[in-house]
Amino acid sequence: MNETAWQHALLDAITTPQWQPDPRFPAAALAVYRNNYRVGLMEMLALVYPICRQLLGEDFFEALSREYVKATPSDSGNLHRYGGSFAGFVAAFEHTAHIGYLPDVARLEWALHRGYYAADATPLAIDTLAAIPQQHWGELRFSGHPACAVLDSPWPLADIHAHHQPATAGCAVDMATAQPLLLWRDSDGLMQLHQLAPGQAAFCQALLHGATLDDASAAGLAATPDFDLQAALLLVLQHGVLSAIKEPS
């Protein structure tokens, strides 16, 4: 077996979900590497998804993580990138598919995790926008801050999150309330949640996807006729959602 084939075979033997004795590799050595592989990925999931873990209980979460790792090979040398498809997995997995809010809680935790490590960017200053004649604003497109995300969820994500934080543990959660969220990073580098008013989620989402201000405003209005563009724009600027004005292409 040449060098490339041997490395390939060793990766196979380590990552394959079912343990099989492999005459090419000593059993004890393979056991160490197989254990390292699984434990490393499962520990990362526990770190990224603490609320899911609390919601499901430690034992169930561990079993769920084990199943996720079986189904989801690592695709990065940076362990912090592992686990991005967990929300989709729990939505489809037969023992969690009935927990309607769980995928959105997982999406929230993934966005908080990625946002915390996301690249730095200078938030767009109000003065920068003010320097542009207002009649041109509608055509402007923006770059989003890498740490920001919008979650347009039908579930009370802000309450569920607060319920699982030490300072607000056990606070009431009304499962019938939708709480669309803006996630942003404060000046200390900590991720913050801001509950969005009707229309604001569609507006922010559109801006983060590179829509013009006019199109984003139309998206907000399509969501609700009461959409207040001025308030939404102020919110976006105050929370540093945008980092720059894109050059017209």
Q: How far apart are CA 12 and CA 95, in angstroms?
A: 28
Answer yes or no: are the C-beta atoms of 136 and 212 closer than 8 Å.
no
**Interface of this chain with other proteins, residues 149 to 168, rule: CB under 8 A:** none
State the nearest-atom distance from the C-beta of 115 to other proteins, in Å: 8
Q: How far apart are CA 221 and CA 239, in angstroms?
A: 21
If one asks whether residue 82 binds other proteins (CB under 8 A), the answer comes out as yes
If one asks whether residue 71 binds other proteins (CB under 8 A), the answer comes out as no
From the list 197, 215, 199, the residue with the least C-alpha distance to 207 is 215
Output the six-digit token pair for 43: 């520990």
Give one word for 196, left, alpha or beta, with left for phi > 0 and alpha for psi -120 to 50.
Answer: beta
Residue 66: CB partners within 8 Å, gap ≥ 6?
38, 42
Number of chain positions touching other proteins (CB under 8 A): 46
Q: How far apart are CA 40 and CA 35, in angstroms?
A: 8
State the nearest-atom distance from the C-beta of 25 to other proteins, in Å: 6
State the nearest-atom distance from the C-beta of 248 to other proteins, in Å: 28
State the nearest-atom distance from the C-beta of 169 to other proteins, in Å: 23
If one asks whether residue 116 binds other proteins (CB under 8 A), the answer comes out as yes
If one asks whether residue 60 binds other proteins (CB under 8 A), the answer comes out as no
Stretch that binds other proteins, among 115-123, 136-144, 197-205, 232-240 (CB under 8 A): 115-123
If one asks whether residue 242 binds other proteins (CB under 8 A), the answer comes out as no
Angle at 70 between CA 42 and CA 13, to 5 degrees: 105
Q: Kindly tell me which of 82 and 155 has the beta carbon lying closer to other proteins.
A: 82
State the nearest-atom distance from the C-beta of 73 to other proteins, in Å: 6
Site of interaction with other proteins (CB under 8 A)? 1-4, 6-8, 10-11, 14-15, 24-33, 36-37, 40-41, 73-80, 82, 115-120, 146-147, 185, 188-190
